[in-house]
Amino acid sequence: MTELLKVHGSQNQFFILDQTTLDKPLTDAELQALAPKITNPQTGLLGGADGILVVNQPTKAGALAQMRVINADGSEASMCGNGLRTVARYLAEKFDQDEFQVDTRDANLLVRRQPDFAPGVPAFAVEISPVRFNKEALPFDNLGHERLLDTLVPEFIPGLRFTSIAVPNPHLISFVSAAELADNVLGVLGERLNGQNPYFPDGVNVNFAQILNENELFVRTFERGVGFTNACGTGMSATSLAFALTHPELAHFDVPMTIYNPGGMVKTIVHHQADHYWIELVGNATFTHHVTVDEAELHQASFADAQTHATGEETAYEKFVADLPHVNDLQIGK
């Protein structure tokens, strides 16, 4: 039998599959077959999820383990900020270490246990890096720009300004009004730029942010390979950097920013030395369920006989969110 964990960071929900515990790791094809089935909100396991976080032996020296990110549609992403916090907690408990590096596609990233965000709400800080602005990192075509930095792009939405940043997965960011944030214009643009389109051949995560105050945002994200999620860690991190770059009077480097989202709240700290940028993302790492399933079933993308057991942590997380300002203003579930 094999154990999976159902987890979330800011209610961005995942299954963690530690391939090192299997007799035979799932192949890439098997992972791509399993993801859409187990994450399906109607027919998936435990109400579905936004993807699978796959743990393997490290491929880079210095890392404790590797994390791969499989989106709900089976596509693979280079990074997942909310997911990395939950994998960091899983590895911290597995290896009894509180600070180490995790091997992600483009870099070993430093992760560190943090004080609980609230009673019963464990928290981790994770490095979001590498950060790139060029078209090699974030391929887009037919816009007549080498990069987007608070750029008017009438081809997307007339009147809105956009910034493009890869962290290293691709993000498009626009600072909008409360009305635009709640409107479905984000969903329409997200669907468009992740379908057949002349601009983003590989799709892109689209983030709308409302500026609440100095160093304080509300961010809503339409994710590549998933759709609307309750939060996107790399999205909130990229948006924090865009905030510091485009609104220097309101957003400061090396100072914690508070980022609200439909699933809760995280802190980000944007750092730079010359033109090298990186972001610290600090937030919850909640384990909601233990799942026991026959390994042979997983290879067949089946989980019909899975046994699930709630950890009880969700109650503490929901109390944490209930006490937050702003989050309940914009009730947008996944």
Ligand X SMILES: N[C@H](CCC[C@H](N)C(=O)O)C(=O)O
Say if residues 318 and 298 touch (Cβ distance below 8 Å): no
Helix and strand numbers, DSSP H then E, in the chain: 7, 19
Strands 12-18 and 51-56: parallel
Q: How far is the CB of 77 from ligand X (least distance, A)?
A: 3
> What token pair was written down for 258?
């508070």
- 40 marked ligand binding residue: no
Q: Say how far apart CA 215 and CA 247 lie, in whole Å.
A: 10
Q: How far is the CB of 225 from ligand X (least distance, A)?
A: 4
Among 282, 231, 234, 233, smallest CA distance to 256 is for 282
Nearer to ligand X, 233 or 264 (CB): 233
Q: How far is the CB of 127 from ligand X (least distance, A)?
A: 13
Q: How far is the CB of 206 from ligand X (least distance, A)?
A: 11
- 286 marked ligand binding residue: no
- 223 marked ligand binding residue: yes
Say if residues 147 and 136 touch (Cβ distance below 8 Å): no
Q: Which of 52, 67, 69, 80 is catalytic?
A: 80
Nearer to ligand X, 77 or 316 (CB): 77
Q: How far is the CB of 90 from ligand X (least distance, A)?
A: 15
- 224 marked ligand binding residue: yes
* Residue ranges that bind ligand X, judged by CB under 6 A: 12, 50, 69, 71, 77, 80-83, 169, 205, 223-226, 232-234
Q: Say how far apart CA 253 and CA 245 lie, in whole Å.
A: 9
Rg, Å, the chain Cα set = 19
Q: Which of 52, 84, 232, 279 is catalytic?
A: 232
- 81 marked ligand binding residue: yes
> What token pair was written down for 263?
């699933």
Nearer to ligand X, 147 or 299 (CB): 147
- 71 marked ligand binding residue: yes
SS3 of residue 201 by DSSP: coil
Q: Say how far apart CA 256 and CA 240 lie, in whole Å.
A: 10
Integer distance in angstroms from the first to the last C-alpha of the chain?
31
Looking up tokens 């957003």, which residue turns up?
A: 251
281: left (phi over 0), alpha (psi -120 to 50) or beta: beta
Q: Is 114 a catalytic residue?
A: no
- Helix H or strand E segment including 92: helix 81-95
Q: Is 80 a catalytic residue?
A: yes
Which residue numbers belong to the known binding site for substrate? Answer: 12, 71, 81-82, 169, 205, 223-224, 233-234
Q: Which residues does the annotation mark as catalytic?
A: 80, 232
Which residue numbers belong to the known binding site? Answer: 12, 71, 81-82, 169, 205, 223-224, 233-234
